[in-house]
Amino acid sequence: MTHSQFRALQDWVGQLQRILQWEAEHDFVNSRGHSGYFAEVVAQGLAEAPLTTLRNSDTCAELRDGFSAYSTWPLQQRRQWVVRTRQWLHHQRLHYQVQATAPSPDRSPPGAQPPLAQVEGIGPRLAAKLMGAGLRTVEDLLRHYPRDYIDYSRLLRIRALRPGETVTVVGTVRRSHAFVSSRNHNLAILELQLQDSTGRLRVTRFYAGRRFTSPRWLQRQRRLFPPGATVAASGLVKAGPYGPSLKDPLLEVLDSGAVTTTASSGRRILPVYPPTDGLSAESLRRAVQAVLPMADRQQDHLTEPWRQRFGVIPLAEAFTTIHQPPSEAARQAARHRLVFDEFLDLQLGLLRRRQRQRAQAMADLPMAPMAGTSDLVTAFLALLPFQLTSAQERVLQQVRKDLQVTAPMGRLVQGDVGSGKTVVAIIALLEVIAAGGQGALMAPTEVLAAQHYHKLCTWMVQLHVPVALLTGSTPERQRQAVLRDLETGAVKLVVGTHALLEEPVTFFRLGLVVIDEQHRFGVHQRSRLLNKGEAPHLLTMTATPIPRTLALSIHGDLEVSQIDELPPGRQPVTTTILTPGEREQAYGAIRTVASHGERAYVILPLVDESDKLKLRSAVQEHQRLARTVFPNLNVVLLHGRLTSGSKQDVLEAFVSGKAQVLVSTTVVEVGMDVPDATVMVIEHAERFGLAQLHQLRGRIGRGQAPSRCFLVSESQQAVARQRLEVLTRSRDGFEIAEMDLRFRGPGQVLGTRQSGLPDLALASLTSDGTVLEKARDAAKLLLKEDPQLRTVPQLRARLDAQNKRLASASRLN
């Protein structure tokens, strides 16, 4: 088996394991995601195993068939089937690892690296452990970067510690205790007492999550930090009643004699690597040290002239220095080169994708360039009861300029909640329709798609533009009619959900694709819709502003426009944080606005009660509010599990005013436009991201009346309170998005299903923005002077291999 085949297998196993883990963490309920129900997705994934021997194996077929009946099984049988599948996948990965790393009988090509088992200082036994951790080659070890460093020239003795300082302390474990918190059964605590020749120090680490509270995990911690072990602890010193302590520090067990060995060898800086199951810190460090002499055999994908132009050091020097930094300045230069490489790969991949799209469109674009405003758009503007803002006009000019060239537009329009992105999108759609094309508007939920459709109908009927709605709930007879009219061109504009991606949907002449709330869709879903036309234009919209570093990383193949101005007359929303005991304050506000004919939202994170999470649920809260808190008001319930018809009935009751209070999950996060809604109460607000809270808050304040948002939080943590206070003082979605990125990181901001999130080993999207900008400029320069990358063949080969891996890994997303 080749390494490329094994990487494809690794990606496939990893994707399936993540899906199976998600199901296990959600009580085996056959969860539903963007790609369908859990059991359907796993069965399809097993059918797409990257190796024929796997696909045709009896076990794979048996597991696949089992998932077809998964939804009918009792809970215990589901659990057993998920566990069995995960074990089988794990064994397959281990089995093929051996094949992938076995030395080939053929002669190795010049410059090839030896198998790890043959490297002096590693050997077969350690190589097997490294394989289990995913470290299969010399390059894998070279790219297994330290997470931190222990600088022995700056080590402090315990007696010299001062509160407020960030320090590294090395001491001997005197006492070790791992236990579950008596106040929170999902919280595990590790307490160590470290001692050196000058004193003692208490070290405490917290681990939140059910998997950390198992007896097996707790026992492993006791074995990992036994009395007598030498431990390095790095963190912030805090004062306590029993002396100084470290809260949530980085910990590493240093094998016996590690401190002496390091000092005597003359190395002042000791690298600290991320913890790896089955490998001690010293074993991992020894393996990395064994391959460092081979760093100069790694081919540098940037030639010397390009390195000089980009201002980076050679790759071999960067590898050696990042693991053995002689000084802080040298470490920074090495890190800069390696971070620059990660961002350069990312930006070249995005820009080359855009390059291919433009090249294809030069010959295939079905529409002639448009000039000026069409009569259809003029008529539409006359129907609007308001004037466009200057920000809308500016973005509209950018869109029109894109539409007037033969290459397809690729533009992301960011704008705060209520800034008027949809109107800009409608104008772009009408321009394309006037030129003889068709338009498609895709939304992430049926609620939002239906709302777009009903709003469009009020305008399109007057403009004599045929418009249709296509979702998963569209009746079969109506669906067939819509499909037929799209294919013949009778329907000029279609609004839909993921149903637009299905194979039967074909267009007569698709000219523009508009994707609302683009962060809910993966890159490949976007491509599937675009492939239904001959290189149509693309306009994506989001009311969840993405910080610039994330926008460049995820949507670097798109131009970015910002509508940074709200329509005049919009009332600011006052945001207040409440404790559970102050909840009556919010209820009083709801009663007051209801007496004035206005309406209120109550938002909860869960649909039903959960044994794992002690949170209020929408179903429970709806019953309680309707019976005891607001017996004189009509309280309705909305969540994603309702049928399409039931959702529509609930929305109509709320919009019309027949219902005064809407209890809902986050399905109202996007698209809900009820100007008379002026109060929102968000329960367990600490469980939402800042950007999501800002989106939810945007459902109120859409009319002329003052609005209030209440964030109810039970959390006692200072960081949680600090996060929520950002919303009380800021209404700028872009500022809030930046803060969200700092607090939670890119993976949580975008959501774990975002397939476009880059895989970065060393670079940080929160702190390396300057390097990202530099890498983007470098990628543009490189492609401008050498579009085919002929002067950097190693770099071109890296990018091609990366594209293959991403294509393989994306099939399950």
The 10s digit of each residue's pLDDT in 125-158 is 888 888 877 788 888 899 999 887 877 666 778 8
Give the pLDDT of residue 363. 40
Average pLDDT over residues 281-307: 88
List of residues 6+ apart from 413 with CB closer than 8 A: 395, 399, 421, 424, 425, 539, 540, 541, 542, 561, 562, 563
The answer to whether 226 touches 173, Cβ cutoff 8 Å, is: yes
Query: Given the structure tokens 């620059």, which residue do they identify?
Result: 340
CA 46 to CA 810: how far, in whole Å?
Answer: 14
Give the pLDDT of residue 609. 58
Whether 108 has a pLDDT exceeding 70, the answer reads no
Alpha helix positions (H), 181-314:
215-224, 258-264, 281-291, 304-310
SS3 633: coil
- 47, with CB counted inside 10 A (0-12, 13-18, 19+), is exposed
Residue 670: which pLDDT band, with cuts at 50, 70 and 90?
Answer: low
| pTM more than 0.85 | no
Give the pLDDT of residue 166. 77
The answer to whether 119 touches 112, Cβ cutoff 8 Å, is: no
Mode of pairing for the β-strands spanning 187-196 and 199-208: antiparallel
Say which amino acid occupies 697: R
Whether 101 has a pLDDT exceeding 80, the answer reads no
The answer to whether 513 touches 533, Cβ cutoff 8 Å, is: yes
SS3 680: strand
Give the pLDDT of residue 699. 87
CA 118 to CA 116: how far, in whole Å?
Answer: 5
Give the pLDDT of residue 105. 43
674: closest CA among 645, 700, 637?
700
Query: The tokens of 72 are what?
Result: 């009918």
Whether 258 has a pLDDT exceeding 70, the answer reads no
Mode of pairing for the β-strands spanning 661-664 and 635-638: parallel
More confident residue, 358 or 324: 324
CA 149 to CA 163: how far, in whole Å?
Answer: 21
The answer to whether 28 touches 86, Cβ cutoff 8 Å, is: no
Average pLDDT over residues 380-408: 88
Rounded CA Rg of the chain: 29
- At 329-363, the pLDDT tens digits run 999 999 999 999 988 988 888 888 777 766 665 44
Helix (H) or strand (E) holding 36: strand 36-37
* Highest mean pLDDT pick, 67-76, 411-420, 450-459, 578-587: 578-587
Give the pLDDT of residue 460. 93
Query: Given the structure tokens 């523009």, which residue do they identify?
Result: 512
String of DSSP letters for 97-150: HHHHHSPPSSPPPTTPPPPGGGSTTTHHHHHHHHHHTT--SHHHHHTS--SEEE
Residue 94: which pLDDT band, with cuts at 50, 70 and 90?
Answer: confident
Residue 757: which pLDDT band, with cuts at 50, 70 and 90?
Answer: very low
Across all residues in the chain, what is the average pLDDT? 82
Whether 46 has a pLDDT exceeding 60, the answer reads yes
Say which amino acid occupies 19: I
Residue 255: which pLDDT band, with cuts at 50, 70 and 90?
Answer: low
SS3 13: helix
String of DSSP letters for 472-541: TTS-HHHHHHHHHHHHHT---EEEESGGGGSTT---SSEEEEEESSGGGS-HHHHHHHHTTSSS-EEEEE
Whether 574 has a pLDDT exceeding 70, the answer reads yes
Task: Specify which residues 469 forms β-bridges with.
Answer: 495
- pLDDT > 90 in the chain, percent: 27
More confident residue, 292 or 99: 292
Average pLDDT over residues 171-190: 89
* 657 backbone φψ class: left, alpha, beta (φ>0; ψ -120 to 50): left
- At 411-422, the pLDDT tens digits run 888 887 778 888
CA 221 to CA 520: how far, in whole Å?
Answer: 39
Whether 589 has a pLDDT exceeding 90, the answer reads yes
Mode of pairing for the β-strands spanning 199-208 and 148-151: unpaired
- pLDDT > 70 in the chain, percent: 84
Average pLDDT over residues 595-613: 79
